[in-house]
Chain A
Amino acid sequence: MQAYIAAFIVGGLICVIGQVLMDVVKLTPAHTMSTLVVIGAVLAGLGLYEPLIDFAGAGATVPITSFGNSLVHGAMAEAETTGIVGILTGIFEVTSAGVSAAIIFAFIAALLARPKG
């Protein structure tokens, strides 16, 4: 139960940050999402995102900030084993599931669905 409360609060707060960027700083949704991804990557670089995942679970892995975190982690892990070229080969290693799933499911949806409204 504890894990669910932590996930709710942390995940909710990250979305509130996104809402503030949209309403107060007046960024478009695309700018907001790009900013959050970069923030996630920077936090990963500073080693702060991993503790957040340990604390909040899905509250930290579901928001888009974790995409930035995973990109850095994939690149770092591969760079440790194969050297500097590993950054290029490893960058999509962890996020591959998310990106591939999004492309495949979205393509199937485009084959089946018609635009609404």
Chain B
Amino acid sequence: MSNKKKKKLTPVQQEYQKFAKEREPKRPVAVNMFRAFLVGGTICVIGQLISDFFLWNFNFTEKTVGNPTVAVLILISVILTSTGVYDHIAQWAGAGTAVPVTGFANSIASAAIEHRSEGYVLGVGGNMFKLAGSVITYGVFAAFVIALVKTTITMLGGS
């Protein structure tokens, strides 16, 4: 909670915040980091295996192999999500499963499946990007600003 918000609380509420903070379970940061490293690294190795497979067996170059690799990773992730396996791995691995592109697919698929009961248009269609929407929004806006700045610099005769 930010300091600004804290000032608005009554003394009793402030005391409670302190009380709750002391009893909040400590996060095992080192263990979590190790797990994230292990699982995240493994997912990237699987990605490397898939891209090498496409490089060796089909006519892909280093530049174009990214698309089928990402698509296969997303497919695997969606299958694991719909069978409920991904959630179990994610519980253990934390950011190790959230940060790779599989986590992006997982957030879309799980939101889509979860809101199925609200109907296919308003439920599935409307809630699919509940979590992933923020990633796309901030990614696109940041990319737009950066590309605009770089293009302007190039047009003005910079490097």
Please give the number of chain A residues whose Cβ is less than 8 angstroms from any Cβ of chain B in the complex: 77
Q: Map CB proximity to B onto A58-100 as digits: 1 under 8 Å, 0 otherwise.
A: 1101111111101110011001100010011001101001110
B residues 73-97 with Cβ under 8 Å of A? Answer: 73-75, 78-79, 81-84, 87, 94-96
**By the criterion CB–CB under 8 Å, are B131 and A23 in contact?**
no
Complex contacts, B75 vs chain A, CB 8 Å: 101, 105
Nearest CB in chain B: distance from A117 CB, A: 6
**A71 vs B144: C-alpha distance when bound (angstroms):** 8
| Majority secondary structure, B binding face | helix
Which B residues between 106 and 159 are near A, CB-CB below 8 angstroms? 107-109, 112-114, 116-117, 120, 124, 128, 131-132, 134-140, 142-144, 146-151, 154-155
Residue among A75, A101, A103, A114 making CB contact with B144, cutoff 8 Å: A75
Residues of chain B with a CB closer than 8 A to A97's CB = 66-68, 70-71
Q: Is the CB of A3 within 8 A of B48?
A: yes
B130–chain A nearest beta-carbon distance, Å: 9
In residues 29-56 of chain B, which contact A (Cβ within 8 Å)?
A: 29, 32-33, 35-45, 47-52
Subset of 13 A-B contacts with CB under 8 Å = A7-B41, A11-B100, A13-B37, A15-B99, A19-B96, A22-B94, A57-B51, A79-B151, A91-B144, A99-B136, A102-B108, A109-B82, A109-B112
Which A residues form the contact surface with B (CB < 8 A)? Answer: 3-4, 7-24, 29-34, 36-38, 40-42, 44-45, 56-59, 61-68, 70-72, 75-76, 79-80, 84, 87-88, 91-92, 94, 97-99, 101-103, 105-110, 112-117
The 10 closest A-B pairs by CB, nearest first: A15-B40, A11-B44, A12-B41, A71-B143, A116-B84, A113-B82, A18-B95, A58-B47, A75-B147, A45-B146
Name B's A-contacting residues (CB within 8 A): 27, 29, 32-33, 35-45, 47-52, 66-71, 73-75, 78-79, 81-84, 87, 94-96, 98-105, 107-109, 112-114, 116-117, 120, 124, 128, 131-132, 134-140, 142-144, 146-151, 154-155
